[in-house]
Amino acid sequence: MENQKPLILSVRNLKTYFFMDEGTVKAVEDASFDVEPGKTLGIVGESGCGKSVTVRSILRIVERPGRIVAGQVLLYRNGPDGRSDHVDLTQLEPNGSEMLAIRGDEVALIFQEPMTSLSPVHTIGNQLIEAILLHKQMTRREAREFAADLLHQVGIPRPAGRLEEYSFQLSGGLRQRAMIAIALSCDPRLLIADEPTTALDVTTQGQILDLLRSLQEERGMAIILITHNLGVIAEMADDVVVMYLGHTVEKGPVDDIFHAPKHPYTQSLLQSIPSIQSRPRVNLPTITGSVPHPYNRPSGCSFHPRCTQNIDGVCEAHVPSLLPVGERQEVSCFLYEHE
Q: Is 299 inside a domain boundary?
A: yes
Residues 63 and 207 in one domain: yes
Q: Which domain holds residue 314?
A: 9-106+188-275+284-336
Q: Of the residues 133, 162, 187, which one is the last residue of a structural domain?
A: 187
Query: For the packed helices 172-184 and 124-135, what is the interaxial angle rounded to 10 degrees?
Result: 10
Q: What type of residue is 237?
A: A
Residues 43 and 192 in one domain: yes
Residues 195 and 263 in one domain: yes
Residues 20 and 169 in one domain: no
Residues 199 and 133 in one domain: no
Contact predicate 156/178, CB 8 Å? yes
Would strands 323-325 and 24-35 be described as parallel, antiparallel, or unpaired? Answer: unpaired
Residues 217 and 316 in one domain: yes
Predicted confidence at residue 1, as pLDDT, reads: 44
Burial (CB count within 10 angstroms: exposed 0-12, middle 13-18, buried 19+), residue 105:
middle
The model's pTM is: 0.88
d(Cα 250, Cα 328) in Å, to the nearest integer? Answer: 11
d(Cα 242, Cα 42) in Å, to the nearest integer? Answer: 8
Q: Is 3 inside a domain boundary?
A: no
Predicted confidence at residue 2, as pLDDT, reads: 46
Predicted confidence at residue 81, as pLDDT, reads: 56
The pLDDT tens digits along the chain (339 residues) read 444 578 999 999 999 999 988 888 999 988 999 999 999 999 999 888 889 999 999 999 999 899 999 999 999 987 655 566 889 999 999 999 899 889 888 999 988 777 778 888 999 999 999 988 888 888 999 999 999 999 998 889 999 999 999 999 988 888 888 988 988 888 899 999 988 877 677 888 888 888 889 989 988 999 999 988 888 898 899 999 999 999 999 999 999 999 999 999 999 999 887 777 777 777 777 888 888 887 788 889 999 999 989 888 899 999 999 999 988 899 999 998 765
Residues 172 and 46 in one domain: no
- Which 3-state string (H, E, C) describes 266-310? HHHHHHCCCCCCCCCCCCCCCCCCCCCCCCCCCCCCCCHHHCCCC
Total residue length of the chain:
339
Residues 288 and 206 in one domain: yes
d(Cα 238, Cα 283) in Å, to the nearest integer? Answer: 31
Q: Is 84 inside a domain boundary?
A: yes
Q: Of the residues 164, 187, 210, which one is the last residue of a structural domain?
A: 187
Residues 259 and 327 in one domain: yes
Residues 197 and 327 in one domain: yes
Predicted confidence at residue 137, as pLDDT, reads: 86
Residues 179 and 196 in one domain: no
Q: Is 113 inside a domain boundary?
A: no
CATH number at residue 51: 3.40.50.300
Q: Of the residues 142, 172, 187, which one is the last residue of a structural domain?
A: 187
Predicted confidence at residue 3, as pLDDT, reads: 47
Residues 81 and 168 in one domain: no
Query: For the packed helices 140-153 and 124-135, what is the interaxial angle rounded to 10 degrees?
Result: 110
Q: How many folded domains does the chain comprise? A: 2
